[in-house]
Chains A and B, each alone.
Chain A
Amino acid sequence: MAPILSIVLATLLVSTLATFFAGKRARYVALAGSLVFLVEVLGLIAGFSQWAGFASGHLPLYNDYESYSWISIAWLHVNYTIGIDGISLIFILLTAILQVATVVYSWEESKRPAEWFGLVLLTCLGCFGVFVALDILLFFLFWEAVLIPMFFLIGFWGGPNRRYAALKFFVYTHVASIVMLVSLLALAFYSGASSFDFESLYGPARTLMPVTQVVLFFGLFFGFGVKFPIVPFHTWLPDAHVEAPTGGSVLLAGLLLKLGGYGLIRWAVELLPTGASDLAPLLYAVAFASIIWGAVIALAQRDLKRMVAYSSINHMGIVLLAIAVGSSLGITAAVLLMFAHGIVSALLFMVSGSVHHTFGTRDVSGIGGITPRTPALSTMVMVGSLASLGLPALISFPAEFAAFLAAWDRIGYWVVVPLVVLVVTAAFYLWMMQRVLFGPEKGVPPTVHDLPRFELLGMAMLAGATILFGILPELLVHVIVASPIAGWP
């Protein structure tokens, strides 16, 4: 069988390198590379019905499986092992969509465009690697490889306080990565697995003593949780977002946060089921704290971008809730919700970026009644906000619905707490939209222009995805459940 995933990885690598050296044509190269990537991913999904890996019910559990020895010495066997299941595939699809949208949205980037587009592609390359890697070291390698381009994206193209934010982002997430790596290595050594391969860890890890599982799961939870981010380790996120350029924010919220959720599902819940169920109360508590804290702080913000950043913490709290439930419905809901949040938060960050350069401010109390003058922008504000508050027929609704349904099975009436929070945030969003979009005109410069077409195009793609998958979530769910943890067989 052809090494399909390696081919995809290679095209990403080639297009990234080509972009770096393309000079003035960088954006064309980046767009071409992104479109090729998107087509490849759609091809992967199309070939989905012929997947052989699952039907047999034997190892390998993953499709398009490739494994080559990379480092092999007496006590250390590291492989280049990649493969996908439905969950990985959904995240890869998210990566491809956001890569295209980001490249289109930032089409007119004029500050060192070759480096800008190259770093955007490099970030997506790292994320793709994280989603396909099935070996501890390979996984960690891609995990860390995401950090460096993001460090430069924030630190070079960001706002006034960018250097501080870039450094804080780097140090916070790197420390968490190291905790994660230690936990994964401990997992490998304590389980006595023959290599660092996911497949060879799978059996031994799941049968570890409960105490060991709990300790390891705790370490992994911390390592992945900082990326989530969970309260109280979330403080890097608002700083990073506020200072990051729009494209950086899009990737940060749309992809980087998902790495935490994906990692938690793949490397912690799937490998350490007993640890996950024993620690579920802690996860619930942290999830509730993130949901409530994120929402409360979001309500207090007047800066649109900060508001979106805190509402991300709130949404990722719901994701954590669904993961903590741990049933196949919960995992499916968590993945779906992460996909939804990836699209919607990306859209909202693009919106706040465009608000910023249209009106010169992101302070929502300073502007009002913008619809007559900037209809396209206000349409996007509306789609993003409505999707974010969970309006039916938009993408977040089925995901949140499934998440609360799954939670109901485990925690019963406690599910009312996040629901109340959700209602309050919905009210807040509506109120914000009413003032900003439809109230009396305020703070609109006389010479205002509506969205530049590339920004509009980038946002429209995401808005289209929001509506498409909102009406047909089955397209995604069908793929997600093709994984050992979310339903298969």
Chain B
Amino acid sequence: MNLLDFLPELLLLAGALLVFLLDVLGVKRLEVFGGIAAAVTALGELVVIGDLGYAPLHALSTIPASAIDQPLGPTLYAFTSLGLVFQAIFLLTAFLVALASLSRPSHEPGAAVFFGLLLLATLGMLLVAVASDLIFLLLAIEVTSLSTYLLVAYPRKEPRPVEAAMKFFIIGALSTALSFFGASLLFGAYGGTSFYALGAATGYVGYPYLATVGYALLIAGLGFKVTAVPFHAWAVDVYDGAPDDVSAFLAGGSKKMGVFAFFLVFLGPLLLAERMPSALPSGFGPSLQITLGVLAVLTMTVGNLLALRQKEMKRMLAYSSISQAGYMLIGVAVGTGPAIAGATFQVFAHLFMKTGAFLVVGAAASIGVGPLIDDWRGLGNRRPSLGVPFALMLLSLAGIPLTVGFVSKFVLFSAAVQAQGYFVWLAVAGLLNSALSVFYYARVLKVMFLEPSPASAGVGATGSGRFGGIGAGRAGAILLATVAIVALGIYPGPVISGIQLAATHFLQIGA
């Protein structure tokens, strides 16, 4: 094992330790911690992009090209290009959040804890992306989970975040327990926990009941992480109660980790099993796909229906986030190369639109806009610098053309149609849901741009200080997300080709 293969992970670990060390040494300025966090995530991002084979950054790459996308063996970890794509997504989310958080009050107590935990949570996600063993995977998820429980409760003096963190912790513990129990049943059934072992054994013994139950428990356990309905109830309270930046991180990052875990657990072994020479008649694969398909449809529909009724901005965004998870699960259910690419691109798009949206909510809160959607009345006219990016993010979430959200949905749904069979219905369900979701996104647009500002809007109407009182870091993060939404909406070609290549390789790792 070459330790340098884990350069991004090591960078994050070093960054986190440095932050904690400086805190102990008495440094109290938030900018220092935030700067470290932003720097190591940015550097890690560059390294990962270099590893992905982007020529100009080749000098930074540490993983030899020959080590990527190798056939799976009975190992703990393996580098796949799809995993690296997800690493890039996680690091970018963390970078945006760290950048935006630089604009928090300079002497905020506990800043070191916030940025340190942010880095540790990201570290866990990076490890998820290279896992090739069920236990390794679940432990990596735990690293992230434990950090995020604390992150949610980070403003310790306020009751709402603490309540949210408590809920998050209890549900998270339950989901961990379910996942590990499922893993132990799979170990019992197949005599191993690496994906290679699971796949190979499936080829010989098929799907004993023990394994079926194990997979079912894993669907539940990981379902909590991706906020799949019916395991979604915690998400809204947590997103709503957590500080805005943490919500942005949870929506943009830790849920995506769940999506990749779904890829690994449900596509890895199954793909391997299909390729085993003496494959038994596999009666389980199709039923698993149907289960996942039902889960996907339920998730997007319930998320959308509940979002329709929300009066608070963050709760609306949280439910919309649940419905977006439903779209991503289409990719897992369909399981073909195009579908995986589509889901991955959807994850990538979601990073900009949802993380960006939560960052805008944070910015709005910092200039005195209340939590209700009605409090945003006239904001688009009063503060176009916030209103226009937010409008673009919502249009992107709704899947309106010229935004990245349209392209990602288009690719994903067309992949489902291309897979034919009953998968076409998944695309139809997705499209109907997109149509439904327009209602609540358009309503926010209407409130922001067409309704007059409330009488009390004098507060923050003219921002004080540079960047309208929302801070350079946050303004930069919002700008970055907005530019990405439009640029990738107009010219997604190179990114989408790269992701498609990664997805194709991912399907071949079992060969």
A residues neighboring B (CB under 8 Å): 69-76, 137, 140-141, 144-145, 147-148, 151-152, 155-156, 162-163, 166-167, 170-171, 174-175, 178, 181-182, 185-186, 189
- The answer to whether B415 touches A75 (Cβ under 8 A) is yes
Given the complex, which residues of A lie within 8 Å of B497, measured CB to CB? Answer: 72-73
| A345, chain B: closest CB distance, angstroms | 26
- The answer to whether A71 touches B402 (Cβ under 8 A) is no
Given the complex, which residues of B lie within 8 Å of A70, measured CB to CB? Answer: 491, 493
- The answer to whether B341 touches A144 (Cβ under 8 A) is no
Given the complex, which residues of A lie within 8 Å of B432, measured CB to CB? Answer: 178
- The answer to whether A170 touches B504 (Cβ under 8 A) is no
Output the residue of A74, A166, A181 with the most chain B CB within 10 A.
Answer: A74
Given the complex, which residues of A lie within 8 Å of B451, measured CB to CB? Answer: 163
| B376, chain A: closest CB distance, angstroms | 14
B interface majority secondary structure: helix
Given contacts A70-B493, A186-B417, contact A166 B446 (CB under 8 A): yes
- The answer to whether A71 touches B492 (Cβ under 8 A) is yes
| B415, chain A: closest CB distance, angstroms | 7
Q: Please, could you name 29 A-B residue pairs with CB atoms under 8 Å apart, sorted by A?
A: A70-B491, A70-B493, A71-B407, A71-B492, A71-B496, A72-B493, A73-B500, A74-B500, A74-B504, A75-B338, A75-B418, A76-B338, A137-B410, A145-B402, A148-B395, A148-B400, A151-B445, A152-B450, A155-B446, A156-B450, A163-B451, A166-B446, A167-B442, A167-B443, A171-B438, A178-B434, A181-B431, A185-B414, A185-B417
| B495, chain A: closest CB distance, angstroms | 10
- Look across to chain B and name the residue whose beta carbon is closest to the beta carbon of A155: B450
CA distance in complex: A121, B312 (Å):
35
CA distance in complex: A434, B166 (Å):
77
- The answer to whether A145 touches B337 (Cβ under 8 A) is no
Given contacts A148-B400, A175-B435, contact A71 B449 (CB under 8 A): no
Given the complex, which residues of A lie within 8 Å of B445, measured CB to CB? Answer: 151
- The answer to whether B449 touches A155 (Cβ under 8 A) is yes
**B280 interface hit (Cβ, 8 Å):** no
Output the residue of B406, B442, B493 with the most chain A CB within 10 A.
Answer: B442
Name the contact of B414 in the complex, choosing from A69, A75, A148, A170 (C-beta under 8 A): A75
1/0 per residue, CB under 8 A from A, across B437-458: the answer is 0110011011001110000000
**B208 interface hit (Cβ, 8 Å):** no
**B401 interface hit (Cβ, 8 Å):** yes
1/0 per residue, CB under 8 A from A, across B380-408: the answer is 00000000000000010000111000110
| A259, chain B: closest CB distance, angstroms | 14
Given the complex, which residues of B lie within 8 Å of A175, measured CB to CB? Answer: 435, 438
**B428 interface hit (Cβ, 8 Å):** yes
| B168, chain A: closest CB distance, angstroms | 35
- The answer to whether B411 touches A76 (Cβ under 8 A) is yes
| B493, chain A: closest CB distance, angstroms | 5
CA distance in complex: A291, B439 (Å):
31
- The answer to whether A74 touches B337 (Cβ under 8 A) is yes
| A315, chain B: closest CB distance, angstroms | 29
- Look across to chain A and name the residue whose beta carbon is closest to the beta carbon of B492: A71
| B305, chain A: closest CB distance, angstroms | 16
| B385, chain A: closest CB distance, angstroms | 15
- The answer to whether B442 touches A171 (Cβ under 8 A) is yes
Given the complex, which residues of B lie within 8 Å of A71, measured CB to CB? Answer: 407, 411, 492-493, 496
CA distance in complex: A140, B413 (Å):
15
- The answer to whether B442 touches A170 (Cβ under 8 A) is yes
| A23, chain B: closest CB distance, angstroms | 14
Given the complex, which residues of B lie within 8 Å of A155, measured CB to CB? Answer: 446, 449-450
Given the complex, which residues of B lie within 8 Å of A182, measured CB to CB? Answer: 428, 431
- The answer to whether B446 touches A167 (Cβ under 8 A) is yes
Given the complex, which residues of A lie within 8 Å of B449, measured CB to CB? Answer: 152, 155-156
Output the residue of A76, A151, A163, A181 with the most chain B CB within 10 A.
Answer: A76
| A115, chain B: closest CB distance, angstroms | 10
Given the complex, which residues of B lie within 8 Å of A152, measured CB to CB? Answer: 449-450
| A182, chain B: closest CB distance, angstroms | 6
Name the contact of B450 in the complex, choosing from A69, A73, A75, A163 (C-beta under 8 A): A163
| A240, chain B: closest CB distance, angstroms | 14
Given contacts A71-B492, A74-B337, A182-B428, contact A174 B435 (CB under 8 A): yes
Given the complex, which residues of B lie within 8 Å of A140, measured CB to CB? Answer: 401
- The answer to whether A174 touches B496 (Cβ under 8 A) is no
Given contacts A71-B492, A73-B341, A156-B450, contact A174 B438 (CB under 8 A): yes
Given the complex, which residues of B lie within 8 Å of A189, measured CB to CB? Answer: 414, 417-418
Given contacts A74-B338, A156-B450, contact A144 B417 (CB under 8 A): no
Given the complex, which residues of B lie within 8 Å of A148, measured CB to CB? Answer: 395, 400
Given the complex, which residues of B lie within 8 Å of A75, measured CB to CB? Answer: 338, 414-415, 418
Given the complex, which residues of A lie within 8 Å of B415, measured CB to CB? Answer: 75
- The answer to whether B401 touches A145 (Cβ under 8 A) is yes
Given the complex, which residues of A lie within 8 Å of B337, measured CB to CB? Answer: 74
- Look across to chain A and name the residue whose beta carbon is closest to the beta carbon of B419: A75
CA distance in complex: A466, B504 (Å):
59
Given the complex, which residues of B lie within 8 Å of A163, measured CB to CB? Answer: 446, 450-451
| A274, chain B: closest CB distance, angstroms | 23
| B489, chain A: closest CB distance, angstroms | 9
Given contacts A73-B411, A178-B432, A185-B417, 19 further A-B contacts (CB under 8 A): A71-B493, A73-B496, A74-B500, A76-B338, A140-B401, A144-B406, A148-B400, A151-B442, A151-B445, A155-B446, A162-B450, A163-B451, A166-B446, A166-B450, A175-B435, A175-B438, A181-B431, A185-B413, A186-B417
Given contacts A74-B337, A148-B400, contact A170 B450 (CB under 8 A): no
- Look across to chain A and name the residue whose beta carbon is closest to the beta carbon of B417: A189
CA distance in complex: A145, B434 (Å):
17
CA distance in complex: A189, B341 (Å):
19
CA distance in complex: A137, B401 (Å):
9
CA distance in complex: A182, B413 (Å):
10
CA distance in complex: A174, B449 (Å):
19
CA distance in complex: A314, B496 (Å):
46
| A163, chain B: closest CB distance, angstroms | 5
Given the complex, which residues of B lie within 8 Å of A174, measured CB to CB? Answer: 435, 438
| A187, chain B: closest CB distance, angstroms | 11
| B15, chain A: closest CB distance, angstroms | 36
CA distance in complex: A163, B341 (Å):
39
Given contacts A74-B338, A75-B338, A155-B450, contact A170 B438 (CB under 8 A): yes
Given contacts A71-B493, A167-B443, contact A144 B400 (CB under 8 A): yes
Given the complex, which residues of A lie within 8 Å of B401, measured CB to CB? Answer: 140-141, 144-145
Given the complex, which residues of B lie within 8 Å of A74, measured CB to CB? Answer: 337-338, 500, 504
CB interface residues, B 266-310, toward A, < 8 Å: none
- The answer to whether A178 touches B435 (Cβ under 8 A) is yes
CA distance in complex: A156, B445 (Å):
12
CA distance in complex: A178, B429 (Å):
12
| A164, chain B: closest CB distance, angstroms | 9
CA distance in complex: A73, B493 (Å):
8
CA distance in complex: A75, B400 (Å):
22
| B452, chain A: closest CB distance, angstroms | 11
Given the complex, which residues of A lie within 8 Å of B417, measured CB to CB? Answer: 185-186, 189
Name the contact of A171 in the complex, choosing from B395, B428, B439 (C-beta under 8 A): B439
